[in-house]
Structure 1
């Protein structure tokens, strides 16, 4: 299968590295920066497209790894060309743009997938299944933390909330998606964010956020997110229920523990060789080959952006926001 990668930055390189290990995959790449494109093509053995249209003409799947604010423009072109399209998370900068993509894909009968890879991380996948299997009984509380130092570079777009959405959209959306996948629709969002500049004076707003989510089923979820942790990246996840607690900490070994109501503790060492990006992209290729739904659909990607948009609005106006109302408004546009 010929896969076209649009964008040769961080995520473009991550995706290319894993596609290169898949039998039968040929890579075609395009980037407006000729030097970056040349280095990318040489490193990954990808064919260089002369233009984006040239990439569309050659490929069977388009993988969009551009800055968030550019997703809708280029994904619409891919869909219009009749190409199954994978869009890196977040699906788009705004909920209205997500609706545009879904409407276009449904109108053309095109598969549209979103790059929510955390579902494929072994610990998050295992906890999802443990919760659904009743390991903690009836779930009541979920706490998630994700953060580290802000990524540098990216031509400045990442540090501009108008383009990236800040941590509430770009980073915490991993956790919103996991919560939606595990516990179902979210009924209320309340968020607080702190904005300040890091050492060095480079403007970077919205670098700490605490978002409280309540699901329709009554589970209360706390998502803490930051790009201002000097100790480095860390992700944690804890689910408490009527029969026990399951917890994950990326800095601990073993990283996942289950504490049952009987007092016993089960520790699990996860298989780090089971790479989540490889699993996710393999599932995407399988969906394209068989014509089945993408592993994470456009509707699911839009639901996560709705939560993020609700959190941004909540933080700005200091009030709870129902993301379902935002989804309804987007559907009426």
Structure 2
């Protein structure tokens, strides 16, 4: 089987902790080049992986024969760099949030279609074992009709994760576009679409900046309604000063599903007949110690390219999930609910 030549553009924490190690461990890929505007960082990462360092992504695309590109840059550059790579004839895995607007999402999807290249968005929550099991239980009818849900993703903020700490691009609107909702909320929007198997059609929200020094949101609560009438809440926060919370609870006709809400069992199902089933399915990927180390995103991306099939989280899927967050931002700004 062909070995795919990989370039990683953007050498910050997500590249160093997720993309690069997972490409290195994948038997079908070899890391050829890396790119970062901070030359010292690019060289340091390149040396670690035996790759060539660049500070300009266009030079990398012009000089190297690349099959796959991971775009791990600040959010504002996701669309332009992804489009450049697609036009250069490389398959693209773009970090979330996919882009900064509906127009950018559409341009990325169009570029992938015209180039005949694979475009995947890096939402890893779909590949968490407890989430996969919950989706199966819902799809088989075991839980019955879903009435409501609540999902949250919160931690102490990107300064504890980003390579630039408190000076991170995450806090700068011109680079990040949005804050906790783009960093965390969009993951949960994608997860809800995956679990429920239907689209969100109406969004209301309160989005605030209260915990951090910056010009992006750091606390948000959205109320979502799906096409079948399921209603629930989505919370994204950078103000959780204790343990990270990445939980989801689904309230169904026959049972309540508690996902990533218990330190020992990743999925607990409480049935209305009094029975409780506890699943030990491994821990969710986390910035906290002890979390899952392999996101499985790279494996799915590589397999999609090798098998010539649409990736599990295509550009259209990434767009649909981001659209929920864009609607939440608009709902908060205007003080009204937004219909999708």
The verdict on a shared fold, with TM-score over 0.5 as the criterion, is yes
CA distance in 1, matches of 2:50, 2:124: 24
State which drifts further: 247-256 or 88-97.
Answer: 247-256
Please point out which of 50, 75, 82 is paired with 1:75: 82
Does residue 21 in structure 1 map to residue 25 in structure 2? yes
1:58 aligned counterpart, secondary structure? coil
Matched with 2:289 is none
Q: Answer whether contact 1:196 1:204 (CA < 8 A) is retained.
A: no
Taking only aligned residues, the RMSD between alpha carbons, in angstroms, comes to 1.9
* Gaps in structure 2 of 5+ consecutive residues: 286-291
Write out per-residue CA displacement over residues 232-263 of structure 1, whole angstroms, 9 at most, x where no aligned residue: 31111111111111102355212320111211
CA distance in 2, matches of 1:304, 1:269: 28
CA distance in 1, matches of 2:183, 2:12: 16
Write out per-residue CA displacement over residues 215-237 of structure 1, whole angstroms, 9 at most, x where no aligned residue: 00111121111101111311111
Runs of 4+ in 1 over 6 A off after TM superposition: none
Q: What displacement does 1:289 show? A: 1.0
Q: What displacement does 1:136 show? A: 1.4
CA distance in 2, matches of 1:121, 1:136: 19
The alignment covers a number of residue pairs equal to 320
CA distance in 2, matches of 1:280, 1:250: 23
Does residue 156 in structure 1 map to residue 160 in structure 2? no
Q: What displacement does 1:162 show? A: 4.5
Please point out which of 21, 42, 48 is paired with 2:47: 42
Does residue 55 in structure 1 map to residue 52 in structure 2? no
2:25 aligned counterpart, secondary structure? coil
Q: Answer whether contact 2:9 2:72 (CA < 8 A) is retained.
A: yes
Q: What displacement does 1:197 show? A: 4.3
Q: What displacement does 1:51 show? A: 4.0
State which drifts further: 77-86 or 266-275.
Answer: 266-275
Matched with 2:137 is 130
Q: Answer whether contact 2:131 2:195 (CA < 8 A) is retained.
A: no
2:135 aligned counterpart, secondary structure? helix
CA distance in 2, matches of 1:147, 1:264: 30
CA distance in 2, matches of 1:163, 1:318: 26
CA distance in 2, matches of 1:20, 1:234: 29
CA distance in 1, matches of 2:238, 2:248: 18
* Gaps in structure 1 of 5+ consecutive residues: 324-333
Q: What pairs up with 1:225-264 in 2 under 5 angstroms?
A: 225-250=236-261, 252-264=263-275
CA distance in 2, matches of 1:256, 1:145: 15
Matched with 2:288 is none
Q: What displacement does 1:79 show? A: 1.0
Matched with 1:192 is 206
Q: What displacement does 1:22 show? A: 1.2
Using the size of structure 1 for normalisation, the TM-score is: 0.90
Does residue 166 in structure 1 map to residue 171 in structure 2? no
2:204 aligned counterpart, secondary structure? strand
